[in-house]
Chain A
Amino acid sequence: MLLSLKWLNEFVDLSGLSIEDIEDKLVKAGFEVESEKHLGLGTNLVVGKVLECKDHPDSDHLHVTKVDIGDEVLDIVCGAPNCREGLKVIVAKVGAKLPGGEIKAGVIRGEKSNGMLCSLKELNISEDMLPEDSPSLNGIEELDDCFEIGESDILNKLGYEDTILEVSIYANRPDCAAMYYMAKEAAAILDRPCKLPDYLGQANIGEKGSFKLNSASENCKHFIAKVVNDVTIKESPEWMKQHLRANGIKSINNLVDISNYVMLETGQPLHFYDLATNPNRNIEVRDDYEGNYEALDGNEYKIEKGDLMIMSDNKPIGIAGIMGGENTKILDTTKGLIIEAALFDHAQIRRTSNRLGLQTEAAARFSKGLEPEAQNRAVDRAVQLLKELADAKGFEETVEYGKSDYVPYTIEETLSHLNSLIGKEYTMDEAVSVMKRLGFSTTNDNEKFVVEIPSHRSMDLKIREDLDEEIVRLTDFDDLKSTLPLLPQTVGKLSPIQRIRRNIRETLTNKGFNETVSYTLVDQKKIDEALLPVGEAISLLSPLSDARKYIRNSLMNSMIETLTYNLDHYNNDLNLFEISSVYGKDVQSERLGLIMTGYLSQYKVLHNSIKTDYYVLKGVVLEVLDNLGYEGKRVLLKENDLDVKHFHPYQSVSILINNEVVGIMGKLHPKYMSSLKLKDVYYCELLLDKLVDKNPAKIKAPVINKYPSISRDISIVLKDEVKADDLVKTIKKAGGSLVKNAEVFDIYKGEHIESGYKSVSLNIIYESADSTLKTEEVNEVHTKILEVLNNSYGANIRN
């Protein structure tokens, strides 16, 4: 809300308060001051008279003037075309601070200039606030004779001196969007009396007429109309123009100005229809009109069912609550009018206004909600002002559809409840005095106070805690002490999934991974290319853009996007992970995405680097699982039959624990990668909720074998398709309990090895828990292993 301090001062005496005091008090009472603006701005201004005005010898448009400012005569060079001898002007003296800067003594093209003759535009008044015939539009301001030479109270006298605070108003206080109630509020905040204009009942005049009023929509529950047969259009008085101006509204004529002024004062948007356009004297509110309609801004709007329309003789005459119609607007020729003050449903007005892209002051006010008695108050005020300023006559009786839904009520609060909620020791006097400042009728005894709630506060004051807030708001609250809740002891802890997340984050950051957080909302393409989508993707009803249309149902494409961004910015070795929920219709799942490309670690000086490949990814993923309590032998890596569209068919696996798929990993498919201009990207997506209840292992201290182990290496040549895992299994099975471990440490293909075959080098560790192994014992088992390998795979010992 734009709060003009000049206007406020008419209701509440602000003398002795600085602007800072007022702002500070407003803020403490819950009204944030967003900005402080000044209508006219400039120091060191005086009225001067142009004694002499000559053309500048060295310019085609400048004038050289002598200006009398009372105590001296100044030489001033002025460029305004309307500068002439005898004119009374605004002089900014040397040292004057104007919005454009400070005025300094100088020489302009060889002529002395000790000041500036001002246009109002140079004094912070914007062009659209100036009357059409203002000299300031094309030159300097011309002052009339009521200004004395040397006088300095210029901006005030011109009606351009005002400080305007932009005050933000919370959704529970729509009443404060009206000057009438904001003044009441400010008086309560500043603890000063409030004098408000009294015009209640002014509309209770007029002859009975034939006007018919109806609402056919439940979204209009109250509507007041009043016919005024005779009005005179003229200019508005200066005080009204000023108040409008402070609110950024330009004066048009007395009728338009009155409707705007009443809206600012009472909060109720009014509309005046030209009476001549409504010969059959009827208005009906409907919500079933469909078609185009030209509003008074000259634009056509497409009206749909549900939009509230003002109709007469079944034809639209205005878009309810938003903008009047071109066909019924007030013209210079208007002789009579119909006053409309109605209550339209805020949600409906908001919907229509948003859809039409028509954001008017009226629509904004309806959208925020009106105080219940605003319609009656506004019509009273309008009638009074029309009589006073437009010589209005020929009033007809007020016609009303529905009525205000305000019924007076009280709220009761006790001192002990107040104090036990806030944690302070308020006295009854303090509590009651706040209610009085707010102008609420209050009765009380030692413990209890009962407060009558007026209509304009009926939207937000409903329960006793609401009264407590008023007390907190209007008394000093900075002295509230700090305590901690006194409650029975509770134990705070993380849930299993929260612990899993922390565990994963620790593992991966230790391995050099960066954690990312990307957007949940994604485009169609990311949905089309989803990896193991958790379900059918959910789309938004009204997305901000196509890029943010769906809720993602897998993480992979977000991670690829992050990877791509970084590659595009020359960040080449990427090891990223993200933990996030993904959603599908009626399903939700939490996932870990892990993406790698380039090097996991790199030490160029020693050429000692780890370039990411399938095995590096596998190692990282297995370590993540191991740290979660799922050691290698519980994790089954199976041929990937889940998704070979995005994964390399021979370099990817599905990951199973307890026979259930918990993820997928591998090299991303070269074809998919090249479509994204990427290559050699490795990815894993784990389904974290599946890891919560798979009975992870608890840590158990390993037992160190006190007997030495014996290590033997073998190299065997066998068919290329034999898998390392099978070899190891075979060795362990053949070797029995003495084989502590078997591991492939080299694979060779090429020269001396027949095509289709490979040479595999394995290391076998023999160990016994009960004795030191003898060479013969090991030899026996070792030979058996070689035999079995030979029989199973036709493996030949390589020399």
Chain B
Amino acid sequence: MDDLKELKLEALKKIQEVSDVKSLEDLRLELLSKKGKIQGLMAMMKDLTAEEKPKFGQLVNDLKTSITEAIETKKKDFEEVLMNAALESEKIDLTLNAYTPKAGSLHPLTLVQKELEDVFIGMGYNVAEGPEVELDEYNFTRANTPVGHPARDMQDTFYIDVNHLLRSQTTAIQMRVLEKEANHMPIKVICPGKVYRRDDDDATHSHQFVQCEGLVIGENITVADLKGTLELMIMELFKKDAKIRFRPSYFPFTEPSFEVDMTCHICGGKGCPTCKGTGWIEILGSGMVHPNVLEMAGIDSKKYTGFAFGVGVERLAMLKYGISDIRDLYTNDVRFLSGFKK
């Protein structure tokens, strides 16, 4: 019996002294394997009395349990140390540059055009397009600007031959829509696209730019409808409450015609450098479609009226994103482009 006690003390001491996993395993085998010391104790059973046997068995089992537990505990200690060492070995500099999946970007003109499209699609408009190499007829004549009309001088146009030109206004698309949809009232479209004028490029002029025109034809369309529609568009674009005001203007294809100012999106109308202290920003041209334009497309101008408007997409982008030089939009420097994340 004392042997057992001694054996236990000795075993536990050895377990405590083990210095690595391998030695611990060796020790475990020495003590607990089938040929191990504990098993060896069982051999002594046969020499014991029937009375002593269960008692001895119990003691051996207890011994076995304690040693097993001690070994497990020691093993866990070793594992803990190993894990700590492993973790330590995996220590990294958390301040190093992150891996940034390269983010692409849409061109700011695309972003604005997309917003315009989405606003108007939501209101049941379609998005119409047309050729940039256009007939003089659609660009001017059908827009109530016949040959010799002084308004042709307002836009210096890139002609290709007598009848063909690079369109100077997306009004050309409207004229095509009117002709095609003359018998499918009402008409609700926006017409985005590139246009070209013989302007020298500088900070505020570009020989190429993007316009987006809108056109609604139906019964009883009013200037008030135009106002409401434009206010909604501007509020969606600038994500702010905005008011607009109309100033009389002149376009050959609308009558009456209006320049439209919106409350400055920077100062909300209080006056700031962006709006030159006026609280208003000139944003687009618009008006009620001229009866001549409707008649030329085969639409009864006594029955139908409508409004049209045209906005410069560059102008919107410049206002919205704070771009001061229109040429930045066409230089395509990736440092600039990368700023326009989706």
Residue positions of A touching B, CB distance < 8 A:
27-30, 32, 170-174, 345-347, 350, 367-369, 420-424, 463, 465-466, 468-469, 472-473, 477-478, 480-495, 498, 502, 505, 508-521, 538-544, 548, 551, 562, 565-566, 569, 571, 574-576, 581, 583, 588, 600-606, 608
Contacts and interface: CB of A to CB of B under 8 A. Distances in A.
Contacts of A516: 107, 332, 337
A473 B188 CA distance: 27
A173 B249 CA distance: 11
Interface stretch (B17-25, B31-39, B74-82, B227-235): B227-235
B114 to A, nearest CB: 8
Given A465-B290, A508-B104, A514-B104, A481 B224 contact: yes
Interface in B168-204: 186, 188, 194, 196, 198, 200
16 contacts: A28-B248, A171-B150, A465-B255, A472-B223, A485-B218, A487-B186, A492-B121, A495-B126, A495-B129, A514-B332, A520-B196, A540-B158, A541-B158, A544-B207, A565-B333, A575-B104
B224 A424 contact: yes
A422 B151 CA distance: 24
Contacts of A468: 255-256
A591 to B, nearest CB: 13
Contact of B329 (A27, A32, A517): A517
Query: 7 nearest interchain CB pairs?
Result: A423-B224, A423-B222, A512-B102, A30-B248, A509-B104, A469-B256, A170-B250
Interface in B295-342: 305, 329-335, 337-338, 342
Nearest to B197: A544
B127 interface: yes
Contacts of A466: 255
Contacts of B166: 520-521, 540, 551
Contacts, number: 248
Given A423-B223, A466-B255, A512-B101, A505 B106 contact: yes
Given A575-B104, A588-B133, 6 more contacts: A174-B150, A465-B255, A465-B288, A477-B246, A480-B227, A544-B207
Contact of A494 (B102, B117, B158, B220): B117
A485 B229 contact: yes
Given A346-B150, A423-B222, A423-B224, A498 B127 contact: yes
A489 B82 CA distance: 72
A483 B230 CA distance: 10
Interface string B145-175: 0001011011000111100001000000000
A600 B342 CA distance: 19
A472 B223 CA distance: 10
B133 A171 contact: no
A494 B153 CA distance: 35
Give the interface residue-count category, chain B: 35 or more
Contacts of A483: 222, 224-225, 227-228
B216 interface: yes
Interface in B237-273: 245-250, 252, 255-257
Nearest to B100: A603
A27 B222 contact: no
Contacts of B222: 420-423, 483
B279 interface: no
A369 B149 CA distance: 9
Nearest to B147: A347
A478 B126 CA distance: 30
A521 B207 contact: yes
Interface string B125-142: 111010111000000000
A512 B122 CA distance: 29
B220 A486 contact: yes
A469 B225 contact: no
B124 interface: yes
A75 B117 CA distance: 72
Contact of B221 (A350, A472, A485): A485
A173 B256 CA distance: 14
Given A173-B250, A581-B132, A519 B330 contact: yes
B224 A422 contact: yes
Nearest to B224: A423
Chain A CB within 10 Å, residue with most, of B96, B224, B231: B224
B171 to A, nearest CB: 15
B153 A492 contact: no
A514 B331 CA distance: 13
B37 to A, nearest CB: 47
Contact of A465 (B99, B256, B338): B256
Nearest to A489: B124
Interface in B42-64: none
A411 to B, nearest CB: 12
Chain A CB within 10 Å, residue with most, of B148, B216, B222, B292: B222
B66 interface: no
A509 B105 contact: yes
Contacts of B196: 520-521
B133 A510 contact: no
A490 B160 contact: no
Contacts of A472: 223, 246, 248, 256
A481 B252 CA distance: 25
A466 B255 CA distance: 6
B208 A515 contact: no
A466 to B, nearest CB: 6
Contacts of A604: 97
A79 B307 CA distance: 65
Contacts of B248: 28-30, 469, 472-473
Contact of A515 (B104, B129, B246): B104
Contact of A347 (B148, B207, B305): B148
Chain A CB within 10 Å, residue with most, of B223, B232, B333: B223
B142 to A, nearest CB: 17
A520 B208 contact: yes
B198 A30 contact: no
Contacts of B252: 172
B110 interface: yes
A519 B194 CA distance: 10
Contact of B188 (A172, A173, A480, A487): A487
B103 interface: yes
Contact of B105 (A29, A514, A521, A569): A514
B288 A576 contact: no
A477 B244 CA distance: 11
Chain B CB within 10 Å, residue with most, of A492, A518, A583: A492
Contacts of A482: 224, 227-228, 231
Nearest to B199: A544
A565 B151 CA distance: 38
A627 B216 CA distance: 34
B255 A541 contact: no
A325 to B, nearest CB: 26
Contacts of B120: 492
B104 A603 contact: no
Nearest to A543: B158
Contacts of A484: 123, 225, 228-229, 232
Contacts of B158: 521, 540-543
Nearest to B158: A540
A515 B110 contact: yes
Given A465-B288, A514-B334, A601-B101, A369 B150 contact: yes
Contacts of B27: none
B250 A569 contact: no
Contacts of A477: 245-246
A646 to B, nearest CB: 21
Nearest to B206: A519
B154 A566 contact: no
A235 B133 CA distance: 57
Nearest to A472: B256
B333 A600 contact: no
A521 B206 CA distance: 12
B246 A514 contact: no
A173 to B, nearest CB: 7
Given A477-B246, A571-B334, A511 B104 contact: yes
